Amino acid sequence: MGDTLMSLLSHTNPGFIVILAGMLAYVIRGEIPRAVVTIGGPLLGLAALVLHSALSEPLATLNMMDMTFVLYQVERVSIVFGLAFLIAATVNSIFALHNKDPLQDSMALIYAGAAIAATFAGDLITVFVFWELTAVSSVFLILKSGTPEAYKASMRYLGIQILSGVLLLMGATFIMGEFGTLEFDAFISEGEGLSLQDDPGAIFLFVALGIKAAFPLLHNWLQDSYSKATHTGSVVLSAFTTKLAVYALWRFFPGEDSLIWIGAIMTVFPVFFAVIENDLRKVLAYSLNNQVGFMVCAIGIGTPLALNGAAAHAFAHIIYKGLLFMSMGAVMYRVGTTKATELGGLYRTMPFTAIFCIIGAASISAFPLFSGFVAKSLTMSAVGYEHMTIIWMMLLFASAGVLEHSGIKIPFFAFFAHDSGKRPKEAPFNMLLAMGIASFFCIWIGFPFLGGTEFLYGLLPYRDEAMVYLEQSLWTTDHVLTQMQLLVFAALAFIVLNRVKLYPPEKRGVVLDFDWVYRRPLYHALVWTGAVWSKAGPAMTGAALRLSRRVYNRIEATFSPQGELSRGPLSAGMAIWTSIVLAIVMVLALIVGPH
């Protein structure tokens, strides 16, 4: 019996287990039983991943409609993303234990499970199914805020995510026509992906992934929705959607040159919005854009060191970004807002939350001895080794910007700065426990001699190259001092600018982003269309009905059994119509036929 269970677990996609736990979480009543399910589901998924029995071989397949669907296939890069997703799902469930909302618990797990299942899928149709499931399930985490703004944001979020899925399906259709199958092994190989040159399937797929990864000009759904989700929902959202897209880019487009510049731009432009944004959860959303840019840029470079950097950065980012969103979620839960203008001085009554926030801030800023340093260093070194001077300077500027808006602004304005006079209680124990676990990973992975760095580097797709880098480059004096100089000067710049009143102060207001360019005109266009239709609609409808009735009557008078063409023997009219139809057919054959 035990051997059968172990064999079943080793051949079961961990995402299926988490999705099943999500379904059970909705129907199970009682806080303790639901807690067992919400935490136990991801832990059981972790056990299934640990027990997986083979690499690069389909472990579970389904044959249907003359197609093979690979439901479970483990690759080295899948392990990195899948393990991070499972850890995040477990920690997120602990963080949400105080909730008494079965729907949120259920949707959070189904969303996480869908992302995990897609990570271990081996064909595009299976990925598409779970791609869409992530969109449908995650929208409830925004809707449950219950505000009109959250409702509007959730509808926009759902629309853009569904569009991403439709484009992915269109890409899959073209790929199916070209290769005759949608199994990954048939059209991609390790280190080599799809080409955007003269391949419409790859182009559709690229745009679909770009939407979900929040490429520049396609990014506004992220800031729009994450800042309006529930205090636990934003934590869950931060972990899965964009990183699932990063995983897919890693698999399908490694070495795609356009990703280098796309990623570099992604790292830079959010800095300018984040430093003037008042809502700290929206600051974190811009920061998420920035961090994903590092991963996208590394994927575009495509060398083993760079691809290791993208995977390591994603793993570390899922944890420390979740920690920062958890700290702001705790503030939201206790204070009811994350607006910088309404916060400050919270360290007095929320000291543990403040400490955990600082750990997350140090990690995302890539301070030595924290997880962000050991992850981001791979990408920065890969750019340097390729002598991409402009790209390296852009990433260096973005790294300094991260310290400004996430490393300093988030903890400073939330817990220190001016005293808002608010004295909320410390976060509930379950929230502190979740933040403590995430903080442990941030320190364990980044601190030498604890074994965390070796563990992370040992998971990476190009393990040998990672271990050589760890032994020869990571902890060199030049490398550590260069990073510390960057961080110290960035911190000094913040202090000086803040002292002389040149740093953008926290202000109430709305920061306009690129979506203003199309949302405002579209809104006015819809209002104008509605006004015109309210006046001209009835008349136009009546005219259209009268015209269609006249056309129908004319067709009936001509072609019906009693019509003109049916009177008597073959008439001249019938001959004329036959000639016209034949001419049309011949012209069409000439145009579309073989040349």
Residue 542 burial (10 A CB sphere; 0-12, 13-18, 19+): exposed
- In the structure encoding, which two tokens stand for residue 376, read together? 């981001």
* Segments of the chain scoring below 70 in pLDDT: 1-2, 190-191, 502, 504-507, 509-520, 522-523, 526, 533, 537, 552, 554-595
CA 287 – CA 298 distance, rounded (Å):
17
Cβ atoms of 232 and 295 closer than 8 Å: no
pLDDT at site 382: 94
pLDDT at site 512: 64
Residue entry with tokens 């509605």: 530
CA 411 – CA 483 distance, rounded (Å):
21
User: To which H or E segment does residue 71 belong?
Assistant: strand 67-73
CA 310 – CA 298 distance, rounded (Å):
6
pLDDT at site 570: 47
- One DSSP character per residue, 439-498 reads HHHHHHHHSTTSSHHHHHHHHSSSHHHHHHHIIIIIT-HHHHHHHHHHHHHHHHHHHHHH
CA 194 – CA 188 distance, rounded (Å):
7
Domain ranges within the chain, ordered by starting residue: 1-253, 254-510
Cβ atoms of 128 and 109 closer than 8 Å: no
Cβ atoms of 280 and 338 closer than 8 Å: yes
Q: Which residues of 499-522 are buried (b: 16+ CB within 10 A; e: fewer)?
A: eeeebeebeeeebebebeeeeeee
- In the structure encoding, which two tokens stand for residue 215, read together? 């490429």
**Long-range contacts of 400-403, Cβ-Cβ distance < 8 Å, separation of 24 or more:** 400/486, 400/487, 400/489, 400/490, 400/493, 401/268, 401/270, 401/271, 401/274, 401/275, 401/290, 401/490, 402/271, 402/287, 402/290, 402/291, 402/364, 402/365, 402/366, 403/365, 403/487, 403/490, 403/491, 403/494
Cβ atoms of 112 and 42 closer than 8 Å: yes
pLDDT at site 393: 94
Cβ atoms of 403 and 365 closer than 8 Å: yes
CA 335 – CA 425 distance, rounded (Å):
9
Give the torsion through C-alpha atoms of 64, 69, 71, 77, to 10 deg.
180
The CA-based angle 70-87-413, given to 5 degrees, is: 130
pLDDT at site 591: 55
Q: Which residues contact 62 (CB under 8 A, 6 or more apart)?
A: 68, 69, 71
CA 43 – CA 230 distance, rounded (Å):
24
Residue 387: phi and psi, rounded to 5, are 60, 40
Q: Which residues contact 287 (CB under 8 A, 6 or more apart)?
A: 270, 274, 321, 324, 364, 402, 405, 406
- Output the pTM of the full model: 0.87
Closest to 41 in 3D by CA, of 103, 91, 109, 136? 109
- One DSSP character per residue, 395-410 reads HHHHHHHHIIIIIIIH
- In the structure encoding, which two tokens stand for residue 514, read together? 């690129």
pLDDT at site 459: 95
